[in-house]
Amino acid sequence: MILAAGRGERMRPLTDHCPKPLLKVQGQPLLAWHVRALAAGGFTDLMVNTAWLGEQIEPALAPLAAQVGSRIRYSHEGRDFGGALETAGGIARALPELADVFWVVAGDVYAPQFVFSRRAFDQFAASSLLAHLYLVPNPAHNPGGDFGLDARSGRALNLAAGHPERRYTFSTIALYRREFFSGVPAGNPQGLKLALAPMLRQAIDRSQVSAEVYAGRWTDVGTPERLAELNPI
């Protein structure tokens, strides 16, 4: 599942008439980088959620989907509920259309070296864990990080800000098991807006979440300045 429902307030005015996941990095929409990378890993059955200017996304991706052999389905949160349902709410909305184990990546991150590995997918599927997170070294805009990592066990950790052990930033790229979202009605028929972070922290406290550090290129394309850095003139 590729998350593409956000408004992109910090990217205005660029997102006043273009959804943020369609903004281009080095000639390709941000979403296209993920569609190509997933297809390269053998993952061609995709779900994309939409809200703000979502009607632009499906026709924009159709030619690429045909080119790489992907089947893309859509969860139109804007059409059905008037706006985005936040990360967990959006995933829960799409859950009936997702497999028992699935990738999730935000449509507004740029990670051109990330490999959606079948081996990583199969290893996670064979485990009893509910989620596996890919963490990155903290960028300048998030110096305190989000989660820690126990290098010996490979488990994600909830570390308080200022904790002496190192914290990393959650890249938004992760593997999940459907069971992770069992506390939300499948299909989220009421359109509940649900944040993902509290659910992750609860599962981490139960030792149900593993993690690893991804050291390749990664940018949260959250501001016009970060976009400009990726598209030098």
Quick: pLDDT tens for 179-229.
999 999 889 999 999 999 999 999 999 999 999 999 999 999 989 999 999
Type of residue numbered 6: G
Rounded to 5 degrees, what angle do the CA atoms 65, 67, 71 make? 30
The number of CA neighbours under 13 Å toward the Cβ of 17 is 0
Task: Read off the pLDDT of residues 71-121 as tens digits, 9 standing for 90 and up.
Answer: 999 999 999 999 999 999 999 999 999 999 999 999 999 999 999 999 999
CA dist., res. 200 & res. 186, Å (int):
18
The number of CA neighbours under 13 Å toward the Cβ of 15 is 24
pLDDT for position 72? 97
Mean pLDDT of the chain: 94
Domain locations along the chain: 2-230
CA dist., res. 54 & res. 80, Å (int):
11
pLDDT for position 28? 95
CA dist., res. 75 & res. 225, Å (int):
30
pLDDT for position 67? 96
pLDDT for position 171? 98
133 closest CA partner among 152, 144, 120, 118: 120
Report whether 230 contacts 25 (CB < 8 A). yes
Report whether 166 contacts 151 (CB < 8 A). no
| Interstrand relation of 45-50 and 2-4 (parallel, antiparallel or unpaired) | parallel
Report whether 180 contacts 156 (CB < 8 A). no
Tokens 């998350």 identify what position?
3
Task: Read off the pLDDT of residues 159-173 as tens digits, 9 standing for 90 and up.
Answer: 876 666 789 999 999
Residue 112: left (phi > 0), alpha (psi -120 to 50), or beta?
alpha
Domain 2-230 adopts which CATH fold? Answer: Spore Coat Polysaccharide Biosynthesis Protein SpsA; Chain A (3.90.550)
Report whether 176 contacts 91 (CB < 8 A). yes
Q: How many CB atoms lie within 10 A of CB 152?
A: 6
Task: Read off the pLDDT of residues 8-67 as tens digits, 9 standing for 90 and up.
Answer: 778 888 888 999 999 999 999 999 999 999 999 999 999 999 998 889 999 999 999 999
CA dist., res. 185 & res. 206, Å (int):
21
Rounded to 5 degrees, what angle do the CA atoms 161, 220, 111 make? 115
CA dist., res. 5 & res. 21, Å (int):
9
Cα torsion angle, 7, 11, 16, 22, sign: negative
pLDDT for position 75? 96
